[in-house]
A and B are shown apart, each in its own frame.
Chain A
Amino acid sequence: MHMKNMTKSASDPIWTQGGLLGRVWEHLNRWPGIGPKSAERLLFYLLAADSSEVIDFAQALVELKQRIHPCRQCHHWTEDELCSICSDPKRDSSLLCVVEQPRDVIALERAGVYRGYYHVLGGRLAPLEGIGPEKLTVDSLLRRVQQGQVREVILATNPTFEGDGTALYLSSLLAPLGVKITRLARGLPSGSSLEFANSAMLADALEGRRAL
């Protein structure tokens, strides 16, 4: 979560003291990546922009919250019952890629290599923060795999301590179902050189080496 200091200081614009301008400015200032100055710039832009453009934007925001919901199957954001990926029959139904967040689906799709389906967990296992399996879409994942079409589950959780823990937990549940379980490779980025790689990258690359 982004931490923002919402207390008013002498350098804050005069409209932070209230009124409609202040309300809009405060809303903009809460958005990720938007500081007080950027919020001020956006506010001036909205004031100067065509009324139709601003109203269109406001309506789009309202519709966004009313019509976008998680896909019934993979839990990625969608406008329909099934998202565009789940409703694509040309995809490989034997492959299922498990990711933490909907943003990870977009990142993987951008790579343009993967042709299977996805499953969005909605977070990662973080026992210390009270995030257990019951807060993730684990049950729905197991149901999908039990349907029998999936042959390989790719655990694409982040390569962090908690991401690895989540992958371990999922593999302990999926192993009895008889599917192949894989984890995304990690190590050296393409186009880099060994000289500048850190020890962790090199260790990962050596551990995950493959035969040619």
Chain B
Amino acid sequence: MIEFFSSSFFTTLISFSLLGTAAGAICLLILLIRDFIKKQTW
């Protein structure tokens, strides 16, 4: 029976969380540019 999270799960979880956070920042900036061009910021 598996009792502990594996080393690969631990590493993957952290790597994906960092990549996801970075992607979030890029996504927001792209969306802002898009909204700005379409004059839909606010």
Pair from one complex: no
B residues engaging A (CB < 8 A)? Answer: none
**Which residues of A are at the interface with B, using a C-beta cutoff of 8 A?**
none
